[in-house]
Amino acid sequence: MDITGIAKSHHAGIPKPSSKKEWKLSDSLREQIAEYAREDAAQNVYMGNKFLALRKSEVAKVAPDRAALMGKIDMKEIREADERWLRLLFGEPYEAEFQSGGVHVYDGNGDEVLTYTAGVGWHEKESKAETQVHGALKAAYYDAFRAARQEINAGAVEMQGGFDAGA
């Protein structure tokens, strides 16, 4: 049975997650990232703790509540469940399917966000929304960090140029 084909067919009529999950790299957030990048550049640290904490909190805004989804699973009951029961268990916009002793949980966009297998347990998978937020934040940080390092290096060159070797 092809999981991807099943996942795509199941999600045709599912509404997208609520608007609270919509994310945008705002000007104020971009400025906050630039501030952290300048601080990090001055300390010669790439992606310091402040930026990493900010990135984590921003990604959490679009991440599905995986803990709540995992809490709804009792593997003994799941083994006896059919696909319709799994849909009811996880609720909108999530769908799940039971296959070969494991469970695959999909979000409203058709992205697999959780997998359960008996030998491994739960395995989180990054959704497309989470990947996009990571990418946007890292790109904004990189640009700001590079600009800050250039400013620092330009200041160092000016100081060396003003050095009087004869003094």
The predicted-structure confidence for 20-69, as pLDDT tens digits, reads as follows: 468 999 999 999 999 999 999 999 999 999 999 999 999 999 988 888 87
* Interatomic CA distance for residues 113 and 57, integer angstroms: 18
- Domain assignment present for residue 141? The answer is yes
DSSP state of 99: E
Peptide bond into 15 cis (omega under 30): no
- Domain assignment present for residue 167? The answer is no
Task: State residue 102's pLDDT score.
Answer: 82
Joined tokens for residue 97:
């399917």
- Structural domain count, the chain: 1
- Domain assignment present for residue 73? The answer is yes
Half-sphere CA count of 57, side-chain side, radius 13 A = 8
Domain that holds residue 143: 3-161
Joined tokens for residue 28:
């104020």
Kindly tell me if the per-residue pLDDT of 115 is higher than 80.
yes
Is the Cα dihedral 98, 99, 103, 104 positive or negative? negative
* Interatomic CA distance for residues 14 and 7, integer angstroms: 11
- Domain assignment present for residue 166? The answer is no
- Domain assignment present for residue 20? The answer is yes
